[in-house]
Amino acid sequence: MDAVFLISTLVKILLVFSGVLGLVVLLTWQERKQSALMQDRIGANRAAILGFRLFGLIHSAADGLKMMSKETFMPAHARKAVYMIAPLLAASFAMMAFAVIPFGDSIELFGLVIPLRIAGMSVGILYVFAMMSLSVYGVVLAGWASNNKFAFLGGMRACSQMIAYEITMGATLLGLVLIFQTLDLNAMVQAQGTLIGGVLPRWGIFLQPLGFLLFLTAGIAETKRVPFDLPEGESEIIGYYVEYSGMRFGLFMMTDFIETVLVAALVTTLFLGGWQVPFLASDGFHFPGGAEVKLSGIAVSLLQMAAFALKVYVLCWLLLLIRWTLPRFRFDQLLQLGWKYLLPASLANIVLTAAALYLLK
Amino acid sequence: METFIPILMMAGVVFGAFSLTYALNWILAPRQNLKAPVKREAFECGNVSPDPGERRRYIGFYLLAIDFVLFDVEIAFFYPWAAAFGQLERQTLVFVAVFLMILIAGFIYAWKSGALELE
């Protein structure tokens, strides 16, 4: 436990924290612009600093400032302490799940080899699930503490929805764990670095196509956004944050985006090869034809980090695309989908994967 | 320690930063008549809420929560098996298959008895 370790860890934490928040800010802007594009509108374009509008990007800053400068008040019936900390719990635990996600292999700086993840945990997957479950507490407690029937209904809906899809997530990932035989996220990404038949990268999506679809669906449900936005249901019950205002509401809004980024990062890590770039080894590219491009260690590390960021961003874009394309489920349909279709499918996925591995062994 | 110190540091940074937004909100935002009874009403689209506080809850959510606890714990038992799959003896597959059968039997029972439905 030396100073270098602590300082490098702190730098990594700040890097991840600001990176995720930066992406969240970018996504609030992109959500408005992309929905505008899809609905043939112009979208946010008014906020300006000294006449510069930056395609509406200033709106993200204006949103943040607005949240900060709005009055926060508390309804008379609320349970005060729980009401206060619920948004904090939701946002913080969603953010803390990023601690084990590898955003690169390792980088060599000034003679030091620094692993590019905050905590190299051998049970990384279980840690991520734990944090996602704790994040549910923020939502449920908000619904309960507001002491408003709409907020309570929203909290209950959020709870039953998220636990239903969490089982699917857990069961789906068993297929990947069976193949890679590790719970360490970085070891999983490293195992995805080889090639199948010398051409196709050995990514999770090619080994577990059904698992990918199930995990992505369950992941979208975890973010509580359309088509799974029943906990909010803007036009009917408003949701668990109906009694919240100012920055306390702002944290709930941010949580949705943080979870979007988290699901994108998880799918990237588990199914899309994480920081792996196809044909890129630690000393440069090795293409199937025999062609090679030599690269220095730092260039490879930077390329891998850029690849991870790009994959996460593309998945975020895909999630936004789904969010603005599909209509909302009815609540019983949503539970049916989770319990009666996705869960049996993920159990079948386990059986099929285990049988296939057993026969191939 | 190499694992948990960073996570504690992460927790400190994250909770600290988000608490800071509360503090900034407290400094920047106006505060007027926070004790005014109208302002402190439970939201009900402008009406007076007939029953803002304790009221009867729908039992179906409780049933779903029980289902969740059962199945999630059982899924968690699969993780050690999956992580050690390559090193296990042949007969362990039979044990796991029996366990999976029990899980599926419970699932079918829950399905048939209507525990997975609302209303």
What's the average model confidence in pLDDT over A289-311?
Answer: 87
Whether the pLDDT of residue A170 is over 80: the answer is yes
Nearby residues of A268 by Cβ (< 8 Å), 6 or more positions away: A274, A308, A311, A312, A315
Distance CA A128, CA A138 (A): 16
Pairing of strands A280-281, A284-286: antiparallel
Q: How confident is the model at residue B51, as a pLDDT?
A: 66
Q: How confident is the model at residue A11, as a pLDDT?
A: 92
Q: How confident is the model at residue A251, as a pLDDT?
A: 92
Residue contact B83–A182, C-beta within 8 A = yes
In a domain, B52, yes or no: yes
Q: How confident is the model at residue B54, as a pLDDT?
A: 64
Reference A137, options A83, A86, A84; nearest CA is A86
Three-state DSSP state, A330: coil
Q: Is A341 on the interface with B (CB under 8 A)?
A: no
Judge contact between A231 and A157, C-beta under 8 A: yes
Q: Which residues of chain B are within 8 Å of residue A343 when distances are taken between CB atoms?
A: 71, 107
- Provide the mean pLDDT of chain A: 88
Q: How confident is the model at residue A116, as a pLDDT?
A: 87
Residue contact A119–B116, C-beta within 8 A = no
Distance CA A43, CA B59 (A): 43
Distance from CA of A3 to the nearest CA of B (A): 13
Whether the pLDDT of residue A14 is over 90: the answer is yes
Work out the burial of residue A196: count CB atoms within 10 Å of its CB; fewer than 13 is exposed, 13-18 middle, 19 or more buried.
Answer: exposed
Q: How confident is the model at residue A331, as a pLDDT?
A: 83
In a domain, B64, yes or no: yes
For the ranges A90-94, B12-16, B34-38, B71-75, the lowest mean pLDDT is seen at: B34-38
pLDDT (tens digit per residue) in A252-277: 989 999 999 999 999 999 999 888 88
In a domain, B27, yes or no: yes
Residue contact B49–A149, C-beta within 8 A = yes
Whether the pLDDT of residue B53 is over 70: the answer is no
In a domain, B117, yes or no: no
Type of residue found at A318: L
Whether the pLDDT of residue B119 is over 70: the answer is no
**Which residues pair with residue A109 across a beta bridge?**
A112
Residue contact B22–A164, C-beta within 8 A = no
Q: Is A22 on the interface with B (CB under 8 A)?
A: no
Q: Per the structure, how many domains does chain B have?
A: 1
Reference A11, options A124, A107, A144, A133; nearest CA is A107
Whether the pLDDT of residue A12 is over 80: the answer is yes
For the ranges A236-245, B7-16, B17-26, the lowest mean pLDDT is seen at: A236-245
CA A130 to chain centre: 14
In a domain, B57, yes or no: yes
In a domain, B81, yes or no: yes
Distance CA A282, CA A298 (A): 10
Distance CA A23, CA A310 (A): 11
Whether the pLDDT of residue A153 is over 90: the answer is no
Q: How confident is the model at residue A225, as a pLDDT?
A: 83
pLDDT (tens digit per residue) in A130-150: 999 898 888 889 988 888 888
Reference B42, options A324, A15, A143, A262; nearest CA is A143
**Which residues pair with residue A280 across a beta bridge?**
A285
Q: Is A150 on the interface with B (CB under 8 A)?
A: yes
Distance from CA of B2 to the nearest CA of A (A): 7
Looking up residue B27, the CATH number of its domain turns out to be 1.20.58.1610
List the structure tokens of A206. Answer: 């090619």
Query: Chain A 25-64, CB below 8 Å of chain B: which residues?
Result: none
ipTM of this complex prediction, to 2 decimal places: 0.90
Whether the pLDDT of residue B86 is over 90: the answer is no
Q: Is A97 on the interface with B (CB under 8 A)?
A: no
Residue contact A71–B76, C-beta within 8 A = no
Smallest Cβ–Cβ distance between A147 and the set B2, B11, B42 belongs to: B42
Q: How confident is the model at residue A151, as a pLDDT?
A: 86
Q: Per the structure, how many domains does chain A have?
A: 1
Distance from CA of A360 to the nearest CA of B (A): 11
Whether the pLDDT of residue A314 is over 90: the answer is yes
Domain residues for the domain of A138 are: 3-360
CA A238 to chain centre: 23
Distance CA A242, CA A231 (A): 11
Whether the pLDDT of residue B116 is over 90: the answer is no
In a domain, B43, yes or no: yes
% of chain B surpassing 90 pLDDT? 30
Domain residues for the domain of B54 are: 4-112
Q: Which residues of chain A are within 8 Å of residue B51 when distances are taken between CB atoms?
A: 149
In a domain, B119, yes or no: no
CA A139 to chain centre: 17
